[in-house]
Amino acid sequence: MPPLARKPHTEFALSDATTRKLILAMASAYSGNWNPRGLESYFYGVWDMVLCDLINDLPLLFVIPQHTIGTVDDGPVFPDVDLQDVSMMTTAAANAKSVLPDFVVMCAEYSIRGNGRKEYVHMGSIEESDTGLDDSDANIDFIPPGYIAIPHISGGLPQNILNSHLVKIENLLVCLVAEIKRCPTRHATSLTNFTKSLASVMTLARTDAETQAEQAFNSQQVTKKLLMVAACGEWWSWQIVEKGMYESNGNDADFFSDSENNPSHEESFSHSQDSGAHRMDRPPRRTAALATKGTFTDPSSPKISAMDLLPAHAKDKGGDKTKPTVAQRYLNLGAHMQSAVGNIDEGKPLPADWSKYLLLGTEASNQALFLIHQTLQNLGTT
């Protein structure tokens, strides 16, 4: 019997050096001694390494943590400021609203400063014609007036960081937003309780990422598509979102207001009417384009009581001494978890829907990282 063919791109992985560092970072984040409260900040290093290594071969993309995405002021800038060196994205507007993703992947359009003439290098693949030099000039010994001698292999950028002043950023576009939350409970007594904990935290991450993506579309009129990543520790989910999926009426006050009734959001928290609790996380308003939903729905997400958790330490019967209890780790969530696919295109989330849960290091996660890398590679040319 012939061996089964390996599913495509399941071996797509980060570099060996990054993987080794990730193992140490994740062990630290899950450690009851070093992170007893399960704080999300311990996972920032994990996802910073994942995102940076993922785009390592894409020269025009880079990762920025805590990047502010604000509204764009279309009015005049300060009169004493050179318009050629002003980015409207960084011009503060009065009472401007903003969001602060944990991480963004940015794509840069830049030019090389020269004597009235510039070498423009835009988003997308770097071609010989982008350098502004004719093919006949490729092997000559002198530099044409107005140009700077920069090796093509570097993508048009200077070799030395000291020459970064020669690069002028013409535009910066957010290509991906990533929201990181704490890991699910480490002391669930059953798979059901663990899944409930994961669903609760993932809902927060997804809702924040959707709000950030909507603001990115409002701030970047030329952006047609971007990616969202929601992570809870080592568990994560992703979505490809297009501009038409969100409304953009320009009303910032209404945009950031709460909404208690939104039946289209499949993962809203369940609150008791008797308690008088109300939702503090408003999912973004969707247009009619989202009327057709995906088939996957997360399990209900009631609050987890103390009875659902294992104690961090269990008392000995013979005295006051405590001994550590090894918590059960759940790696297979069944139908709620993404599986590796034979056709890589089937690994993409359904339109206007989040992927199922993914676990870093699994074959399905490797396929998803490949698809994200492929999408980021193509965003600059679409």
Distance separating alpha carbons of residues 65 and 44, to the nearest angstrom: 9
Q: Determine contact, residues 25/45, Cβ cutoff 8 Å.
A: yes
Torsion of CA 56, 59, 61, 64, to 10 degrees: 70
pLDDT score of 45 more than 80: yes
Residue 207 has pLDDT above 60, yes or no: yes
Is-contact 363 10, C-beta < 8 A?
yes
H helices present in 240-320, as ranges:
252-255
CA distance 107 to 63: 9
Round the average pLDDT of the chain to a whole number and report it: 70
- Say how many C-beta atoms besides its own lie within 10 A of residue 87's C-beta: 11
Q: Give the alpha-carbon dihedral of 285, 365, 180, 279, to 10 degrees.
A: 40
Cβ atoms < 10 Å from Cβ of 180: 25
- Give the separation between CA 201 and CA 221, rounded to whole angstroms: 31
Looking at residues 77-85, what average pLDDT do you find? 45
Higher-pLDDT residue of 239, 262: 239
Whole-angstrom CA distances from 170 to 86, 108, 152 are 9, 8, 20
260-281: pLDDT as tens digits? 333 333 333 333 333 333 333 4
**Least-confidence region, from 26-40, 67-81, 313-327, 356-370:** 313-327
Q: What is the pLDDT of residues 115-153, one digit of tens each?
A: 444 444 444 433 333 444 444 444 444 544 445 554 433
What mean pLDDT comes out for the span 227-252? 79
For the entire predicted model, the pTM comes to 0.67
What average pLDDT does this structure show over 220-245? 91
pLDDT tens digits, 155-186: 467 777 777 887 888 888 999 999 999 989 88
Lowest-confidence pick of 126-135, 188-197, 268-277, 298-307: 268-277
Tell me what pLDDT residue 188 has. 86
Residue 215 has phi, psi (to 5 degrees) of -65, -35
Q: Which of 6-10, 64-68, 274-278, 313-317 has the highest mean pLDDT?
A: 64-68
